[in-house]
Amino acid sequence: MITVKHRFSNHTIRPDTETLILGTFNPETSGNNADFFYGRTRNYLWRLLPTAFGEDDLKGAPKAEKLDFIKKFKIDLIDLMEEIKVEEGQEANYDDVYIDNKVSIWQNVIGEIDKLPNLKLVCFTRKTFTGIPNMKEHVDEIMAYCEVRGILFKAMTTPARFYSNDKQTEWTISLKN
């Protein structure tokens, strides 16, 4: 088995964060050219987020511009998994159904939430849980914890694969309310 770490495991969430975007996993592999969370070519988070706040599209923008944006709007990012162990040749397979039972270290999301006194909203970047029972279990724990703390939790349509007006509307309404 080969260990694959999260590409941005050294990212520190800012303590003034009000909105936390929760994803799954971004592998530290040679074929992954993402410079920051959701930075892969077929992911549209950096179009959805800025557009929701009336800002310019940041898809393809440098990491520094994305960091400025999240700082300005008190948004930050974290993923469920910190490390996975996969078969040789599967290092770049980050499909959630495949990696669901390959997790060797789960991120302590609740511990990170505890460090955020101003947190109002957690958005998980998928709505369905078919084929990912382990992730579902962790997300359910986070959702229950948020409910007890009075933090709104929303499961969102994935920002991956394509961009659409319907997806933008959902993200805008969820982030602005």
Query: What is the model's pLDDT at position 92?
Result: 86
- The pLDDT of residue 38 is 87
Tell the CATH superfamily of the 2-176 domain.
Answer: Uracil-DNA glycosylase-like domain (3.40.470.10)
Q: How many CB atoms lie within 10 A of CB 79?
A: 22
Q: What is the pTM of this model?
A: 0.94
Based on the number of CB atoms within 10 Å of its own CB, is 130 exposed (0-12), middle (13-18) or buried (19 or more)?
A: exposed
Q: Which of 37, 31, 33 is nearest to 10 (CA)?
A: 37
Output the pLDDT for position 169.
95
Bridge partners for 6 per DSSP: 27
**pLDDT at res. 7:** 85
**Residue % of the chain over a pLDDT of 90:** 80
Q: Which residue reads 């084929």 in tokens?
A: 131
Averaged pLDDT of the chain:
94
How far apart CA 51 and CA 150 sit, in angstroms, is 27
Residue ranges per domain, the chain? 2-176
Ordered per-residue pLDDT tens for the chain, 177 residues: 999 998 888 899 999 999 999 999 887 888 888 889 988 888 999 999 999 999 999 999 999 999 999 999 999 999 999 999 999 999 888 889 999 999 999 999 999 999 999 999 999 999 999 999 999 999 999 999 999 999 999 999 999 989 999 999 999 999 987
Look-up: residue for tokens 């990912």?
Answer: 132
The one-character DSSP state at 114 is H
